[in-house]
Amino acid sequence: MEMKTISRRILTIFLLICLCFVLQTALFSRFELAGVTPNLLLILVASFGFMRGRREGMIVGLFCGLVVDMYMGTYVGLYALFYLYLGFFNGLFRKIFYGDDFKLPLILIGVSDLIYGLMQFCYLFLMNQEADFGFYFWNVMIPEAVYTVLIAIFLYYLILKVNQWLEKTEKRSSGRFVR
């Protein structure tokens, strides 16, 4: 792959991470529903995982997690590890991904949000000996997963179009040198 297309992909993913982070922390923090906000970075990680595979899902997950760690993490690298695992998990479904089918991505995003909530509960709450899982599950994990999936209906379409544009430009640039 040509250096220009690699740079374009890196810059585009960087801009998407920044956009999702700003929207998640600045805009959606003002639109809490049931005390939760949607996890836009998780939507981005999950989308790149099943669109591009485990490796790219893990890379995007690592950088999304590092951004979250820098913003609010008390344990450096904890969110990077969470998002990295979620990128890997979603990358496992690359082989059955079809761009025009929205059911699988939305289900995976919902499941990923529940897994993310479970990881948060295990590492953050159990370390502080606060172990009311039932309350956390019904009052935080489920509402956040539902809100995230509702927002994913719109955001996933945008990420899909960006990915299709990147793939089209990569194919076009790689085809220049073929006779």
How far apart (Å, rounded) are the C-alpha atoms in residues 126 and 11? Answer: 38
pLDDT tens-place string over residues 102-137: 999 999 999 999 999 999 998 877 777 667 889 999
* Cα atoms in the 13 Å half-sphere on the side-chain side of 90: 34
Residue with tokens 């991470």: 17
pLDDT tens-place string over residues 132-161: 889 999 999 999 999 999 999 999 999 999
Q: What is the DSSP letter of 121?
A: I
Q: pTM value?
A: 0.93
Res 99: pLDDT:
73
All structural domains of the chain, each given as residue ranges with its CATH number in brackets, are: 3-168 (1.10.1760)
Residues 145, 117: contact at Cβ < 8 Å?
yes
Q: What is the DSSP letter of 28?
A: G
Average pLDDT in the 26-49 region?
A: 95
